[in-house]
C-alpha cells in the first residue's frame, strides 16, 4: 500500500488536524496576491484553497487519486502527479508543502524538481516530520509487527531528516537556506492511537489480515494510551516538525 491508496474521507475524520496545524508554515510562506504557487502533496486541498483565497494562483499535486478528487471538489486545480518527477520549469514564485515531504524518500529528486519548477529567486517553504517524529508510535510499530511476520523497518514509508541533513540537500539542489529548524509539537490524536494508525500509518497495516489488524491496533492502543495520555486522558503524539524557508539562487 502506498500513500496513493489513501481515503480522503478517513483522513478528514482522523487527521483533520494536519491541515489545521498548517498555519505557521503558511505564515512563513507569506503568500502575496498574484503569486503563482505550487502545493506539493496538497492532500484534500484545504491549504491550497487558503492560498487561493489570499489571491494566489495555486496548483496542487498529490499522488493519491482520492485526495486529488477531494481537492478538486474544493475548486483547487489539483493534479495527480508524483513529486519525485516534477516537469514544471521556472513557472512558480513559490513552492509550498505541508506534512507531505516525509512520504518522499528520494528527497533529492523532489528538491531538484522543486528547484526546476521555481523562477530564479523563488521560495521553497515547507514543513515535514523531522528527526524523532512520532518516535513512540514508530518504535511500537517496529516492535509489534514482527509478531505477525512483518519486517516493519523494510516497509517503513517515512523519512524524518534532521536539520543538517536536509539543509545540505537543499544547498546541493541550488537553494540558499534562509531559515530551518526542528520544532517539537505534541499533537492531539482526536481519534486515539487506532484512529491515527488507520488514517496515517496505513502502509504498516497493508500486509495484515483483518484479524491481525484488529490485534495490532488493540495491542498498540493498550501499550501507548497510558504513555501518550495527559492528566485529562487526552492522547498526544510526539510530533517533531522540520520547517524551512529556502530561496532558489538567481543563477541556478
Ligand atoms: C506528520 O505529519 O508528522 C506525520 C505524517 C506521517 C507519519 C507520521 C507523522
Non-local (6+) Cβ contacts of 90 within 8 A are 116, 117, 118, 119, 120
The pocket around ligand 1, CB under 6 angstroms, is made up of 18, 99, 102, 129, 133-134, 158, 200, 239
Q: Does domain 8-133+158-188+240-248 have CATH number 3.40.50.150?
A: yes
Question: What is the pLDDT, as a whole number, of residue 2?
Answer: 47
If you ran DSSP here, which 8-state letter would residue 208 be given?
S
- Indicate the SS3 state at residue 108: helix
Distance 249 CA to ligand 1 centre (A): 30
Tell me the mean pLDDT per 10 residues along the chain, length 252: 58 63 93 98 96 97 96 98 97 97 97 98 98 97 96 96 98 98 94 92 95 97 94 94 95 70
Nearest atom within ligand 1 for CA of residue 137: 8
> Ligand 1 centroid vs 63 CA: distance in angstroms?
16
From 14, 129, 159, 228, mutation site for ligand 1 pocket: most ligand atoms within 8 A of C-beta: 129
- The model's pTM is 0.91
Domain ranges of the chain: 8-133+158-188+240-248
Q: CA–CA separation, 201 vs 199, rounded Å?
A: 6
Contact 96, 35 (CB under 8 A): no
Cell of 130: 523531522
How many whole angstroms from 134 Cα to the centroid of ligand 1? Answer: 7
Residue 12 confidence (pLDDT): 63
Amino acid at each position: 500500500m502506498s500513500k496513493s491508496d489513501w481515503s480522503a474521507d478517513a483522513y478528514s475524520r482522523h487527521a483533520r488536524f494536519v491541515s489545521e496545524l498548517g498555519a505557521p508554515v503558511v505564515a512563513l510562506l507569506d503568500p502575496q496576491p498574484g503569486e503563482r504557487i505550487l502545493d506539493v502533496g496538497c492532500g484534500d486541498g484545504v491549504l491550497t484553497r487558503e492560498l487561493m483565497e489570499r489571491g494566489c494562483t495555486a496548483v496542487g499535486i498529490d499522488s493519491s487519486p482520492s485526495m486529488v478528487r477531494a481537492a478538486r471538489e474544493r475548486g483547487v486545480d489539483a493534479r495527480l502527479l508524483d513529486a519525485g518527477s516534477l516537469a514544471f520549469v521556472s513557472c512558480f514564485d513559490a513552492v509550498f508543502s505541508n506534512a507531505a515531504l516525509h512520504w518522499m524518500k528520494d528527497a533529492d529528486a523532489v528538491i531538484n524538481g522543486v528547484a526546476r519548477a521555481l523562477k530564479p529567486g523563488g521560495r521553497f517553504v515547507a514543513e515535514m516530520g523531522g528527526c524523532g517524529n512520532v518516535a513512540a508510535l514508530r518504535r511500537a510499530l517496529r516492535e509489534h509487527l514482527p509478531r505477525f511476520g512483518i519486517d516493519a523497518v523494510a516497509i517503513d514509508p517515512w523519512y524524518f531528516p534532521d536539520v543538517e541533513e536536509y539543509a545540505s540537500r537543499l544547498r546541493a539542489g541550488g537553494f540558499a537556506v534562509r531559515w530551518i529548524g526542528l520544532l517539537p509539537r505534541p499533537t492531539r490524536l482526536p481519534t486515539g492511537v487506532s484512529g491515527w494508525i488507520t488514517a496515517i500509518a496505513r502502509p504498516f497495516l497493508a500486509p495484515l489480515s483483518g484479524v491481525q489488524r484488529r490485534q495490532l491496533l488493540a495491542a498498540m492502543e493498550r501499550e501507548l494510551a497510558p504513555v501518550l495520555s495527559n492528566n485529562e486522558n487526552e492522547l498526544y503524539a510526539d510530533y517533531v516538525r522540520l520547517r524551512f524557508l529556502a530561496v532558489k539562487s538567481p543563477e541556478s
